A = this chain, B = another copy of it.
């Protein structure tokens, strides 16, 4: 299948992908010990070469400052010696995780005596397209390496110097451990063209995982002929049912919205059953006000907000659709649980929806009818996370239905193959 691509004009991106493919073939059959040695070497090298990394990072930061970048973004971009140590420590955590490759997913002896085994194998070449955070460079490389995949890293151009320094350290460590350095590569070029080339490299790249803003993800999903795993857009809902403990409901709402509003599992919409609205809304709006949240409400919510402390403005369709990632929340009153489900089905990005209820029947119906990666019952939307789920690591949160859905750990970076063993069996 690669032959047609090998014949194409070898651009720097395609050459990189071709080298990744060759490295992937070497990585695939490696035992865990070989991969763990390389990961340990990476952690050690990150600590040994921290100065080099921080110096390169300073270059990116200076550029970002000159371009008037916001302090929030600059903070995400910044690498300090402490942060580099934390990144190295995360790599050591990946060493401790089990190797998914070789796991027998199912197996049986068929009626004719053939032994059938379905085993996990690496995907091959994984392309990650991501935004400013340079820690993703190391995280993604470590997870791909552990799962036997070669990785092509396409970070933000604003982190190019940092990523270049980090990848140099990673490659040296990998090669020093006797593995192919091309298992970890930065995609050359800072322009959008390199993303476009990656998206056309079907047969060389096995999957692209875009991590970042909705527009990046939309572009990749619509334009790529390489298979894509869509990640991370989260228009998450909290629904407070007719029967709900008010304290619990307020606590889950505020935690879901305000504990860390900039992430994809933060809540963006509150739906309240009309039977509990009068009792719940005043307390909820006060608590949101205290947390510094602006409410985009429907008529009933605006009425409840009158004279209270909360800042409330009218909600439009844009609000029901919005992934604010800020101290804002859309809020509305619904006539029934089924109406809440219908609202969610219409507007959700399919990430996480929570119900707060004391009714077993309501919890059961909500979890059956809501079709999102995660349905939380009497728990914050903020738990949808590979670390929280006990996966030990996370390459992203898939919001699509094919291949992987929800937080993706190491097994989600594998495919499977069947081994059919006979002794001369024919049909």
Contacts and interface: CB of A to CB of B under 8 A. Distances in A.
A196 interface: no
Interface stretch (A49-57, A179-187, A307-315, A396-404): A396-404
Copies in the complex: 2
Interface string A236-254: 0000000001011001100
Nearest to A317: B3
Interface stretch (A71-79, A82-90, A272-280, A380-388): A380-388
Contacts of A252: 424, 426
A362 interface: no
A78 B321 CA distance: 50
Nearest to A383: B420
A245 B111 CA distance: 24
A415 B373 CA distance: 9
A374 B426 contact: no
Contact of A374 (B2, B123, B418): B418
How many chain A residues sit at the interface, stated as a range, is 35 or more
A207 B377 contact: no
A153 to B, nearest CB: 20
Nearest to A259: B427
Given A25-B345, A415-B402, A418-B373, A423 B114 contact: no
A65 interface: no
Interface in A252-307: 252, 255-256, 259
Nearest to A24: B371
Nearest to A320: B3
Interface in A333-379: 345-350, 363, 367-369, 371-379
A426 B376 CA distance: 11
A227 interface: yes
Contacts of A348: 1
26 contacts: A1-B350, A3-B346, A3-B347, A25-B345, A28-B371, A110-B390, A116-B390, A121-B371, A124-B401, A227-B401, A248-B424, A252-B424, A252-B426, A367-B419, A371-B417, A374-B418, A375-B420, A377-B420, A377-B422, A378-B421, A378-B424, A379-B420, A380-B427, A383-B425, A405-B415, A406-B418
Q: Lowest 8 CB-CB distances: which A-B pairs, in order?
A: A379-B422, A255-B426, A401-B415, A403-B403, A248-B424, A379-B425, A29-B368, A402-B403
